[in-house]
Amino acid sequence: MADSLDESFQSMGIEIVERKRVEEALRESEARYRHTLDAMLEGCQIIGLDWRYLYLNDIADRHNRRPKEELLGKKYMDMWPGIESTQVFSVIRRSMEERVPQSMENEFIFPDGSKGWFELRIYPVPEGIVILSIDISERKRAEEALQASYRFLQIAYSGAEISSLFEEFIKEIKNYTGCAAVGIRILDEEGNIPYQTYKGFSQSFFELESPLSIKTDQCMCINVIKGDVDPKLPFYTAGGSFYMNGTTRFLATVSEEEKGQTRNVCNQVGYESVALVPIRMKDRVLGLIHVADVREDMVPLNIVEVLEKAGMQLGTAILRKQAEEALRENEERFRLAAESSTDLIYEWDTKEHVDWFGKIDELLGYAPNEFPRTFEAWASSVHPNDRDRVMAAVKNHLEKSVPFDIEYRVRKKDETYNYWWARGTGVRDEKGSPYRWVGAVTDITERKRAEQALFDSEQRYRNLVDNAPDVIFTLAPDGTVTSLNPAFERITGWPRSEWLHKQFTPILHPDDLSRGLELFQRVLRGEKTATFQLRVLSKSADYLVGEFMVTPQTQSGSLIGILGIARDVTNRKKAEDDLRASEERFHQFFENEPTYCYMISKDGEILDVNRSALEALGYEKEELKGKPVATIYAPEVGERVKELIKKWKETGRLENEEIVVVTKDGTRRTILLSTSMVRGPDGDILHSISTQRDITELRNTEEQLRQSQKMEAIGRLAGGVAHDFNNLLTIIKGNSQLSLMDLEKNNPLRENLEGVLRASDRASDLIRQLLAFSRRQILEMKVLDLNSLLMDLDKMLHRLIGEDIELVTLLTKDLGRVKVDSGQIEQVILNLAVNSRDAMPSGGSLTIETANAELDEEYARRHVAVIPGRYVMLSVSDTGAGMTPEVRDKVFEPFFTTKESSKGTGLGLSTVYGIVKQSGGNIWVYSEPGKGTTFKIYLPRVDEPLGEVVREKAAEGGLPRGSETILIVEDDEDVREVAVRILKMQGYRVLETSQGSDALHQCGHEAGPIHLMVTDVVMPEMNGPELAKRLSPLRPEMKVLYISGYTDNAIVHHGVLEKGVNYIQKPFTVEGLARKVREVLDR
């Protein structure tokens, strides 16, 4: 048992020792294996069956661009995101899964953006797979460089045009470098290096960079073009290129001063990788290749070196293309020159055969090769008149070597002749014998024709100069007269010999000498001068006015003198001066004429307008010139304007046609228009002259006069009617009152008679208003102050117009005095106030104003019946509805009213008009619809002291009675009867008669005293004042009381009762007559 245990332990010990030995051997083997893998020149990485990294050597670290610590134990797919979709992973996975070796070449792009080409060999091993990698990037780059160089060479020698070469080069450079922007710049003769073509650069970059010039700019492009590079610097190459793979990094290492020495545009627009490669042919730089990209490290040295080879290939191709182009151009120029030349080259064997080089057939009018190439054919084509001379010249040259240079005529196929100039030289052998003749022929037909034309032209010029009506002369640069044509003698009277080869200055008027010399010098300097006038001395010692045109004469570019033409314009100048003076007189007349004057084109446009018209219309001249003449006429007379234009075109004139023009501010003016056409010598219409006489004031005055005459006529009619009506009303009122006095208070007839009295009172009021309008009232004139009168009426006016209307009084201090009937003026003010009140039913403002006024001659001229002088103005204005012109023109007519029939008689303003006019004043109305109305009254101002205004007092007590004897003289029986009854009723003894002669008789036979005569003023046979005058010697104690229905000049002057005259107005009342009689008797 023990032995067996010992054997077992022994055996176990041996086994452990062996296992230890094997493990140690395994460790040593693994160490040797890893050491071997680590020492390999290839990258080695082992990936387990679970796709985790098991091992990587140092070379694999470099190939992976990351440390092995990041990869060991990690899954292959996790470390390379997206690799499962690549071809390289398909190859690796196949080896892993199918356990077969694989190999491939692949370009890897690493997370840091770098690239690399690798050859991969994949082997399956128990643990998984082994991937061996070799970096073949350099080899690939060399292959790519070789391929690129070959492609550049193919393009350079493809034979394409230069523009196509540039396009192909740029495309290949972009493919090879992978850069985003490529351009080709070529140096031109001015030193500029514009882009010939480019791809990838922005338009703004192109516009900024393209104007670069080696003469004015400083940058890396200029350095490369000039060859100003230093290969010792890290950004230049031995091949003369500039390259940079991190412009921002580099600029951060230089000073601001160094940065300022170059433009740095590429960096400013974001390009990090930049290469500037010269395009050269040997040592000559033609331009450069510009490569740029916003990424770093895009143009390493090896790529730049390949581009340098491409630049040389491109330079060679450019020069070759330029040479080919120049050769083609030269060949083309030579071909064109030969084809267009009239020269022929010929070669003669001195016997029969002649070779012609050029268009011999075409020149002679033959078909190609039709003209025989023989000496005989040429000789026979020479003009018969020239042939002997030509043959002799040929012989002399062959025999005596006399130069052959001759002109002759040669016949064409159409039997016409051309002129030839032939030259030739014989080629001689060693013995001096000619065996060949070469020469040239020039067709000089056109030259000969030009010479003949020149000769003919000179002959025509000489004939023209000799027969010209104007003086034609030439001067030398020193002012000497070198030629004069015959017209000089005819115009000035001087023989030409007097002035030829002498200075021109003495012939000029002394006052024109300096100007003539100045013009002469200006022409010598080559300056252009317009036509000018100078005065020239004639043989008769008078001065003629010459109009000159001169021009410099040159020969072969040198000034040889001056050619001039002078025309005698003495008569024309006088006519022009006369015309100018006439035009000035017309202009002065036109401008200063007080009537409106217009100059109108034949198309009806205003050409000119005088000052009077401009002032009247309110325009500036420029505002009217060029406008249709219809512009100045009022729109409402448009049809009238058309009629006048038609009449003007048909008859050629208008005369005193009345029409309305409108000013700039819209004012209408009435004018009398006269127009006449102005025609030229040929009868064509030049323009028209239109004159307009402003008759606005005349028409206004005429209208005022018509209105005044109408009012006067109406007044006379109203006065006559009033006289008769007053008689009737006296009878009616008197009898009615007398009847009422006889009736009991409760008598039923009493009411009827009172109605008759009320109607007669209203009729009396109407008659009184008619008398006021017709200025037939009796006025009791007193000197008064209108301001005081208005203040007395203030309360009454307020009550009259009501509370809805504001009353404003504007009373001037130191107002002048007027002489009027205060009662009548009060009536005027009240009537106007009522009129204004009625015009403002919804309220408004009534303004009464007084002022002193001076009305001058001009105002009087424009207003009928106004006498210039001092006045007091009374103005009544309202803010009512206003009046239309039609209403305004009739406002003072009696019975004219715009009110309803029950609200007005139409006599209120008529009464105002009559009172003002009878008071020696004038009244005017101003009104427009919607702008209210203003009445202005002008009353004559007086310097008399104020009079006392006495208000009538109400009568007190019964009717006065008496017993005196009274004579009544009245032609109207009914009126007389009423008066008799009234006076008898009051106790008087009454005598009566119907006419003046009866009164005289009765007074002569009446024994007792007659205390009072009551007489009508107006009677058929003898009026009242005349009767009183005749009775005065008979009855000096008898007093007189006049009665009348209206005033006349018998007892009043202009409506004012003569001083001391007793008067009672018809229709009178019982009380009125009784009291007036008693009043007169008691005096």
Residue 859 has pLDDT above 70, yes or no: yes
Side-by-side strand order, sheet with 195-199? 195-199, 181-186, 284-293, 273-281, 242-244
The reply to whether 750 falls in a domain is no
Report yes or no on 717 lying in a domain: no
Pair 223, 279: CB distance under 8 Å: no
- What average pLDDT does the chain have? 83
Q: Which two tokens stand for residue 45?
A: 């990485």
The reply to whether 279 and 366 lie within a common domain is: no
pLDDT tens digits along 187-238: 988 889 899 899 999 888 888 888 888 887 788 888 898 888 898 998 999 9
Higher pLDDT, 656 or 511: 511
Do 558 and 619 have their domain in common? no
pLDDT reported for residue 628? 86
Phi, psi dihedrals of residue 444, rounded to the nearest 5°: -110, 25
pLDDT digits (tens, 9 = 90+) for 517-544: 999 999 988 888 888 999 999 999 899 9
Same domain as 109, residue 42:
yes
Partners of 749 in beta bridges: none
Per-residue b or e along 173-182, where b marks 16 or more CB atoms closer than 10 Å to that residue's CB: bbebbebbbb
Return the structure tokens found at 111: 């997370």
Statement to judge: residues 18 and 145 lie in one domain = no
Interatomic CA distance for residues 472 and 487, integer angstroms: 8
Of 658, 615, 609, 660, give the one whose Cα is nearest residue 635: 660
Residue 528: is it exposed, middle or buried by C-beta count within 10 angstroms (0-12/13-18/19+)?
A: exposed
User: Does residue 708 form part of some domain?
Assistant: no
Read off the pLDDT of each residue in 785-795 and give the average, rounded to a whole number: 90
Residue 747 included in any domain: no
Q: Tell me, what DSSP letter sits at residue 374?
A: B
State whether the Cα torsion 793-796-798-802 is positive or negative.
negative
Q: Is residue 754 very low, low, confident or very high in pLDDT (cuts 50, 70, 90)?
A: confident
Same domain for 145 and 273, yes or no, is: yes
- The residue range of the domain holding 1026 is 965-1081
Query: Contact at 8 Å (CB) between 788 and 820?
Result: no
Q: CB of 222 within 8 A of CB of 262? A: no
- Cis (ω within 30 of 0) for the bond into 1067? yes
Residues 308 and 356 in one domain: no
Domain count, the chain: 7
Q: What is the pLDDT of residue 21?
A: 62
Give the end of a domain, one of 541, 573, 605: 573
Considering the domain boundaries, does residue 456 fall inside one?
A: no
Distance of CA 809 to the CA centre of its chain: 53
Q: Answer whether residue 199 is part of any domain.
A: yes
Q: What is the mean pLDDT of residues 829-856?
A: 90
Q: How far is CA 1052 from CA 683, 783, 813, 1016, in A?
A: 71, 18, 34, 14
Task: Give the CATH number for residue 169.
Answer: 3.30.450.40
Task: State the alpha helices, DSSP H only, in 540-691.
Answer: 570-592, 611-617, 621-624, 638-651
- Band the pLDDT of 9: cuts 50, 70, 90: very low
Looking at the DSSP bridge assignments, the partners of residue 685 are 679
Beta strands (DSSP E) in 126-175 are 128-135
Region 386-415: mean pLDDT is 93
> 135 and 63 in contact (C-beta within 8 Å)?
yes
921, 1039: one domain: no
Phi then psi dihedrals of residue 984, to 5 deg: -65, -40
pLDDT tens for 239-289 read: 899 999 998 888 888 887 777 677 788 888 889 999 999 999 888 899 999
Distance between CA atoms of 197 and 202, rounded to whole angstroms? 13
For the entire predicted model, the pTM comes to 0.37
The pLDDT assigned to 533 comes to: 92
Residue keyed to tokens 């916003």:
294
Measured from the Cβ of residue 683, the count of other Cβ atoms closer than 10 Å reads 6
- Position 5 scores a pLDDT of 42
Determine the Cα angle at 41 with ends 35 and 46, to 5°: 60
Q: What percent of the chain has pLDDT over 70?
A: 87
Looking at the structure, tell me whether residues 171 and 213 fall in a common domain.
yes
Domain containing residue 652: CATH number: 3.30.450.20
**Which among 398, 418, 449 is the end of a domain?**
449
922 and 815 in one domain?
A: yes
One-letter amino acid at 75 equals K
Q: Which range (111-125, 392-406, 999-1013, 1048-1062) has the least confidence? A: 1048-1062
Are 176 and 211 in the same domain? Answer: yes
How far apart, in whole angstroms, are the C-alpha atoms of residue 1068 and residue 975? 10
**Rg over CA atoms, the chain:** 68
Q: How confident is the model at residue 125 (pLDDT cuts 50, 70, 90)?
A: very high
Instruction: Looking at the structure, tell me whether residues 525 and 553 fall in a common domain.
Output: yes
With 80 as the cut, is the pLDDT of residue 439 above it? yes
DSSP 93: H
Q: For 113, which DSSP code? A: S
Nearest to 874 by CA among 942, 819, 938: 938
For residues 170 and 305, membership in a common domain is answered with: yes
Is a pLDDT exceeding 80 seen at residue 698?
no
Q: Which two tokens stand for residue 1046?
A: 């209206």
Of the residues 645, 677, 694, the one at which a domain ends: 694
pLDDT tens string 135-188: 888 888 777 777 877 788 888 777 788 888 889 899 989 998 899 999 999 998
**Is 60 contained in some domain?**
yes
Q: How far is it, in rounded angstroms, from Cα 376 to Cα 223? A: 72
**Structure-model confidence comparison of residues 569 and 781, the more confident one:** 569
Instruction: Report the alpha-carbon distance of residue 983 to residue 966 in Å, rounded.
Output: 8
The length of the chain in residues reads 1083
CA 784 to chain centre: 65
What's the confidence (pLDDT) of residue 25? 55
In a domain, 773, yes or no: no
